[in-house]
Every structure is written in structure tokens, then in C-alpha cells.
Structure 1
Amino acid sequence: MSPEIQRQQVDADLEPVEATPSTADNHQKPTAPVIPRPLMCVGDVAVRLNTSVTAVWRLKNNDPDFPQPIKIGGSTRWDPAEIDCYVDVCKARRPNGR
């Protein structure tokens, strides 16, 4: 197959497809787009937990409930939702769940 025919075939495969609205429920309210929160660096996690950066590293190494970070290249980041869940776990550990 010649490169020109391959290019035409790839271009045809990449053509946008028109979305058709669902007719099952036209009375649905449009939902706001979900915007993911950016990942947190160790300093952000320390601020969120009102603790020191050193304490965050200790939690990572010693607390099995603490979320493990995501490594991206040479950077270490945490998912904010996982940090929020960790805070909820800590609340549940308290006496009387308070």
C-alpha cells in the first residue's frame, strides 16, 4: 500500500463523529463538566494536613492507611481525593467517631 493511500485511510479513520442527542430523556438538565483537581506535591499535602513536610514523609513510610504517592518522572505527587479519604479514615479512628 502506498504512503499516500495509507495517509488517506488514516485521515478517514480520524474524521470526527457527530454526537446524536439521546431521545430517551430530553428533559435532563445539562451537567457541569467535571474538572479534576491537580495533583498535590508534598508541601501541598503538608498544608492540607496542617503538618510538616517531614511528617508527611513519616506518614507515607509508617502509616498503612496513608495513600502512596504517584511518581511522575522525578516528581512525587498525591491525588487530593485520596488525601481527603485519608482524613476521613483518621476521623473514623477517633474515639466515638468524632
Structure 2
Amino acid sequence: MTAGAEGAPPRTEQPLFEVFVRGKRGLNHVHVGSLHAADEEMALHAARDVYTRRNEGVSIWVVRSDAIAASSPDEKDPFFAPSRDKVYRHPTFYPIPEDVPHM
């Protein structure tokens, strides 16, 4: 908690939200930044004002940062090692038709 003005009750810090924006229909949401807001609705409005000022997006996601579980960059090699022995899953083994967008 941070101290408020003299005689005022202390303020609690607002939670941190991660912001994801979809640029066009059919594309993936992309992480564009973070912001503090009182709740999800306020975070959506703030994200719209901050990250889509020039009509860059068609959809916004906001997620509280403390709700995200992530792998550690320090554990990259052991965490992703099992996928190296499954090279058949790589897209280089399959022809991609020219009429398939965003692949």
C-alpha cells in the first residue's frame, strides 16, 4: 500500500494487466504491452485508448498478470527438449497450399 495525502487513507495499487491485440480478423492476438487498471472493464477501455488509437485492432484481450503461468527462460533447454525428437511435426514436412493465408 502507498500512503495517500496527509490524513487520507492509504491507496492500494491497481493490478497489472497484460494486453493482447488482434490486428485483423483471422490473425492471432499479439502481446502489445501492460497497464494498471482497477478491473477488467477499465483495463479494456484503457487498452483501447492506449494501444489502438489509430484503429490498429479488431479485438483486445486483457489478462491479469498474476493469472499467467509461464515457463522460465533459464529452463528453456530441458523444457523444450522433448520436441526436438519429433521433427515430423515441423511444417517443413508438409506442403502448404498457396491459397492458405497466414501460415
TM-score where L is the length of structure 1: 0.23
TM-score between the two structures when normalised by the length of structure 2:
0.22
| Richer in strand (by share) | 2
From the CA coordinates, give the structure whose radius of gyration is larger. 1
